């Protein structure tokens, strides 16, 4: 019994000593200074950035000609294949020319008779065998008949309806045997020149005023040789292989949309672009020679939605800066105001700090990969 009591006392003392040691170690750790948090930062720099705007629009043919008859008659022949390419001057329809050939023959016969009569009277007038009035009447009738003959010749030519421009011809709206009239409202067919092509896009007046303000303030430079070169994206998201040239910006505002029209010319040798297609044009606005870009992941927003960043000042202390953002450029934000050159913007480690804390700043490496990421071959 004595041995058992002694063993219990020893065990109790050992447990108490172990607890005192643990408490001492814990108090020693609790009393030490906490480690300085480490954050990844990028240093702001002034860069030259080309600013662009993306606008939606539609394609339209470079030239459009609605073919209409200039004389009346019955269609005898259709001499083109619908949907084919035609050349300017190529005959498309043939109107029955019989009536117009007869009119020309009659006019030419009258013209010959009057010419002979005018020649005789001219000789007699020289001998004063006829009056000047008789000769003048025949001379006037001769000129009128000459005009009628020229008109008959033109009308006969118009019985062959030709293509006014080169391009792709559409469907025929009449068939052989149809009666057509001169200058009728319905076109016989339509020809469209598809190379090059127009792209018309709408730009809001707010954007136009913003650009003017930036130019006046010197924040934007449009003296760039590529200022008028435009990229184009098709409706399925693919980029059109050829670049376009900005031709003009309209000066009239559409009252229904509050926008102005920009017209761009694109080469279309393979007829990829067709009239009426929806497209998106990327148009240069100018060059910002003093742009400040920060990674999008460095931007936070307050409860009101206003953007801000955390920076590390010269003393190693965290500060908050309210920003005015312009637009996203790739994976960065373009900052309009709130930052200057050579400031350290915190990109990683923001969740462990707050304004006023001292931190250790290390450079942010954009090429590093997350160690916890699943390799591509192991992803489901």
Spatial separation of the C-alpha atoms in residues 295 and 298, rounded to whole Å: 6
210 in a structural domain: yes
8 in a structural domain: no
329 Cβ contact list (under 8 Å, min separation 6):
49, 293
Claim to verify: residue 141 and residue 176 sit in the same structural domain:
no
150 in a structural domain: yes
The number of beta carbons lying within 10 Å of the beta carbon of residue 374 is 9
Mean pLDDT of 309-315: 92
Domain CATH number, residue 263: 2.40.30.170
* Domain membership of residue 87 as a residue range: 69-96+159-186
Claim to verify: residue 328 and residue 263 sit in the same structural domain:
no
Strand partners, 261: 202
Claim to verify: residue 126 and residue 182 sit in the same structural domain:
no
DSSP 242: S
Domain CATH number, residue 353: 2.40.420.20
Domain end, chosen from 106, 140, 157, is at 157
Claim to verify: residue 199 and residue 268 sit in the same structural domain:
yes
Claim to verify: residue 75 and residue 173 sit in the same structural domain:
yes
The pLDDT assigned to 49 comes to 86
Crossing angle (nearest 10°) for helices 98-126 and 132-158: 160
Percent with pLDDT over 70 in the chain = 87
82 in a structural domain: yes
Claim to verify: residue 55 and residue 115 sit in the same structural domain:
no
Mean pLDDT of 134-148: 88
Claim to verify: residue 76 and residue 169 sit in the same structural domain:
yes
142 in a structural domain: yes
Radius of gyration of the chain (CA): 43
- Structurally, how many domains does the chain consist of? 4
DSSP 351: G
Claim to verify: residue 274 and residue 297 sit in the same structural domain:
no
Q: 214, 331, 326, 227: which is closest to 282 by C-alpha?
A: 227
H or E stretch at 31: none
SS3 of the chain: helix, strand, coil, percent, to 5: 30, 35, 35
SS3 of residue 377 by DSSP: helix
347 in a structural domain: yes
Q: What is the pTM of this model?
A: 0.69
In angstroms, what CA-CA distances link 143 with 118, 122, 133?
Answer: 11, 15, 15
Claim to verify: residue 89 and residue 164 sit in the same structural domain:
yes
The pLDDT assigned to 299 comes to 93
Spatial separation of the C-alpha atoms in residues 60 and 267, rounded to whole Å: 12
Q: Is the pLDDT of residue 3 over 50?
A: no
* Phi, psi (rounded to 5 degrees) for 295: -60, 145
Q: 57, 277, 90, 94: which is closest to 191 by C-alpha?
A: 90
Claim to verify: residue 81 and residue 137 sit in the same structural domain:
no
Claim to verify: residue 274 and residue 322 sit in the same structural domain:
no
Mean pLDDT of 169-176: 95
Domain CATH number, residue 76: 2.40.50.100
In angstroms, what CA-CA distances link 65 with 77, 193, 223, 301?
Answer: 20, 9, 38, 56
Claim to verify: residue 87 and residue 182 sit in the same structural domain:
yes
Segments in 34-184 forming alpha helices (H): 98-126, 132-158
Spatial separation of the C-alpha atoms in residues 273 and 198, rounded to whole Å: 9
> pLDDT (tens digit, 9 = 90+) per residue, 62-99?
999 999 999 999 999 999 999 999 999 999 999 999 99
Domain end, chosen from 269, 287, 305, is at 287
182 in a structural domain: yes
The pLDDT assigned to 6 comes to 52
Confidence of residue 379 (pLDDT cuts 50, 70, 90): very low
Domain CATH number, residue 125: 1.10.287.470
Segments in the chain forming alpha helices (H): 2-30, 98-126, 132-158, 205-216
257 in a structural domain: yes
Q: Which two tokens stand for residue 35?
A: 């480690």
């Amino acid at each position: 019994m004595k041995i058992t009591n002694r063993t219990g006392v020893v065990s109790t003392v050992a447990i108490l000593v172990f607890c005192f040691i643990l408490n001492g170690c814990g108090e020693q750790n609790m009393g030490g200074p906490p480690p300085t948090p480490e954050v990844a930062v990028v240093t702001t720099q002034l860069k030259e950035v080309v600013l662009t705007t993306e606008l939606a629009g539609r394609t339209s043919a470079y030239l459009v000609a609605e073919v209409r008859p200039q004389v009346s008659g019955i269609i005898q022949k259709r001499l083109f294949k619908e949907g084919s390419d035609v050349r300017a001057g190529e005959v498309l329809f043939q109107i029955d020319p019989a009536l117009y050939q007869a009119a020309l023959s009659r006019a030419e016969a009258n013209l010959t008779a009057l010419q002979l009569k005018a020649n005789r009277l001219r000789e007699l007038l020289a001998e004063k065998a006829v009056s000047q009035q008789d000769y003048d009447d025949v001379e006037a009738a001769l000129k009128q008949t000459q005009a009628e003959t020229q008109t008959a010749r033109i009308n006969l030519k118009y019985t062959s309806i030709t293509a006014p421009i080169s391009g792709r011809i559409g469907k025929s709206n009449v068939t052989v045997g149809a009666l057509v009239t001169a200058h009728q409202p319905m076109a016989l067919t339509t020809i469209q020149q598809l190379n090059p092509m127009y792209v018309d896009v709408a730009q809001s007046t707010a954007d136009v005023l913003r650009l003017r303000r930036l130019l006046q303030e010197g924040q934007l430079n449009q003296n760039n040789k590529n200022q008028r070169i435009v990229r184009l994206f098709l409706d399925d998201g693919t980029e059109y292989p050829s670049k376009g040239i900005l031709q003009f910006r309209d000066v009239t505002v559409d009252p229904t949309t509050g926008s102005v029209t920009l017209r761009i010319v694109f080469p279309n040798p393979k007829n990829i672009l067709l009239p009426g297609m929806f497209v998106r044009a990327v148009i240069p606005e100018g060059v910002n020679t003093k742009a400040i870009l920060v990674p999008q992941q460095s931007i936070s927003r307050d409860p009101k939605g206003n953007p801000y960043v955390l920076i590390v000042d010269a003393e190693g202390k965290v500060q908050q800066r309210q920003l005015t953002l312009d637009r996203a450029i790739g994976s960065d934000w373009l900052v309009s105001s709130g930052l200057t050159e050579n400031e350290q913007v915190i990109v990683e480690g923001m969740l462990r700090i707050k304004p006023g804390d001292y931190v250790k700043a290390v450079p942010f490496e954009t090429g590093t990969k997350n160690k916890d990421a699943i390799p591509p071959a192991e992803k489901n």
